[in-house]
């Protein structure tokens, strides 16, 4: 009797395992809602098919800011999903700091240890290219996201940073009527993301001769952004609008400390910035770079290893939050610190993560 039970259970288990095995291919058949090719000229990317389970490594560079910490946490959360976990036999995370040489060393180690795919947030868009080519030659798939690399030997996944900067600037122009003094808070000098966002913003500002700008570098960090904004305000400037790449909670705080009303504000996806806009009602546009891009990259890596073809350069849609769709518990949160970046999901990909859980995963 007992033995028969066992046999039936075993058969049932095998059946469900087979069914589950078939599921991912079904789920990943249609991705148009999730991502698209970067442009019409983007080449298709294919890779020799391998049998799961795979060994996947996440190579992160910087860990000094909240966004990266969220990203690493999301990667671990995604790996824990049952449908993902059974495809991966070994998942390793390592961070190199913002040091190209350390990341080269790290990727070399990953190649030597025989991983199947590397998912990475690069310390430099170009400095790792020769190392990535070496990885590709050694049969290691590389998927690069966020601070993406320029080589076409890797799949690149990102939101359109130029478009982001442009939309922020359009918002500023709309709310200032095309004339006024705009505070431009940039990110980290010399990075690809900062350049692209800034160029996008400039492409709009340059068309409006009535707009003057004051530029500061906030390094995408609340503390730094608050300091440089306070300096700009202390210099006696009045601002009619803010265009900021990040560290926005700090920018808002600097205005408050100075006893000034926050002007119309186009910025990133920080919790404190959105909460302040909800409370004080200043016009805002918030576009967050999603930390969930790491999960999308892992998902794409897994599907490419299983033989799917994808575009070599992938565009993930922007998610916009304005005064109209601000909602507590949905895109900003009471119990989470101001510096938390609220973009944690990738809509349309089945990659929804709970911000509260992500926050708890970090601490």
* Interaction site with another protein (CB under 8 A): 60, 63, 72, 92-102, 104-106, 108-110, 112-113, 124-130, 150, 189-192, 195
CB of 187 to another protein, least distance (A): 12
Q: Residue 86: in which H helix or E strand, if any?
A: none
CB of 86 to another protein, least distance (A): 22
C-alpha–C-alpha distance, residues 155 and 119, integer Å: 9
Match 């510096």 to its residue by tokens.
339
CB of 62 to another protein, least distance (A): 11
CB of 46 to another protein, least distance (A): 25
For residue 178, count other CB atoms closer than 10 A to its CB: 15
Closest to another protein by CB, 98 vs 306, is: 98
Closest to another protein by CB, 124 vs 244, is: 124
Cα atoms in the Cβ-side hemisphere of radius 13 Å centred on 192 = 17
CB of 190 to another protein, least distance (A): 4
What order do you get walking across the sheet with 36-37 strand by strand? 36-37, 313-315, 155-158, 141-145, 117-120, 54-60, 88-95
Length of the chain: 363
CB of 138 to another protein, least distance (A): 9
Closest to another protein by CB, 108 vs 323, is: 108
CB of 102 to another protein, least distance (A): 5
DSSP for 174-227, please give it.
Answer: HHHTTEEEEEEEE-STT-HHHHHHHHHHHHHHTT-TEEEEEEEE-TT-HHHHHH
Burial group, residue 275, by CB count within 10 angstroms (0-12, 13-18, 19+):
buried
Match 């946490």 to its residue by tokens.
73
Closest to another protein by CB, 102 vs 336, is: 102
Q: Do 250 and 271 contact (CB within 8 A), yes or no?
A: no
C-alpha–C-alpha distance, residues 62 and 46, integer Å: 29
Q: What's the count of helices (H) and strands (E) in the chain, helices before strands?
A: 12, 15
Helix residue ranges, H only, 28-99 = 66-80, 82-85
Closest CA to 203 of 160, 234, 155: 160
Closest to another protein by CB, 42 vs 108, is: 108
CB of 348 to another protein, least distance (A): 30
Closest to another protein by CB, 192 vs 282, is: 192
Closest to another protein by CB, 113 vs 325, is: 113
CB of 318 to another protein, least distance (A): 21
Closest to another protein by CB, 71 vs 262, is: 71
**DSSP state, 328?**
B
């Amino acid at each position: 009797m007992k033995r028969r039970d066992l046999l039936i259970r075993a058969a049932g288990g095998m059946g469900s395992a087979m069914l589950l095995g078939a599921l991912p291919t079904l789920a990943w058949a249609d991705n148009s809602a999730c991502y698209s090719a970067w442009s019409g000229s983007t080449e298709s990317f294919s890779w020799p098919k391998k049998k799961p389970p795979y060994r996947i490594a996440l190579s992160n560079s910087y860990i000094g800011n909240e966004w990266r910490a969220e990203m690493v946490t999301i990667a671990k959360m995604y790996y824990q999903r049952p449908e993902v976990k059974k495809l991966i036999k070994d998942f390793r995370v390592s961070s190199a700091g913002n040091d190209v040489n350390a990341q080269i060393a790290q990727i070399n180690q990953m190649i030597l240890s025989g991983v199947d795919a590397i998912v990475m947030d690069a310390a430099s868009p170009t400095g790792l290219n020769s190392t990535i080519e070496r990885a590709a030659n050694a049969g290691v798939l590389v998927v690069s996201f966020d601070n993406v690399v320029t080589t076409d030997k890797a799949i690149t996944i990102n939101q359109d940073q130029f478009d982001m900067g442009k939309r922020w600037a359009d918002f500023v122009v709309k709310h200032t009527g095309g004339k006024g003094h705009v505070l431009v808070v940039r990110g980290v000098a010399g990075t690809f993301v900062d350049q692209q966002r800034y160029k996008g913003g400039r492409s709009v500002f340059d068309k409006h001769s009535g707009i003057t700008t004051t530029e500061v570098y906030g390094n995408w960090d609340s503390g730094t952004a608050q300091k440089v904004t306070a300096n700009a305000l202390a210099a006696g400037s009045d601002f009619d609008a803010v265009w900021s790449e990040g560290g926005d909670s700090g920018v808002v705080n600097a205005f408050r400390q100075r006893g000034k009303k926050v002007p119309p504000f186009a910025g990133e996806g920080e919790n404190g910035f959105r909460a302040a806009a909800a409370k004080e009602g200043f016009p805002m546009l918030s576009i967050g770079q999603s930390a969930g891009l790491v999960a999308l990259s892992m998902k794409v890596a897994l599907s490419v290893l299983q033989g799917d073809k994808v575009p070599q350069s992938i565009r993930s849609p922007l998610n916009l939050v304005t005064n109209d769709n601000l909602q507590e518990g949905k895109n900003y949160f009471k119990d989470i610190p101001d510096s938390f970046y609220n973009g944690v999901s990738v809509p349309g990909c089945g990659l929804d993560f709970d911000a509260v859980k992500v926050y708890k995963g970090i601490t």
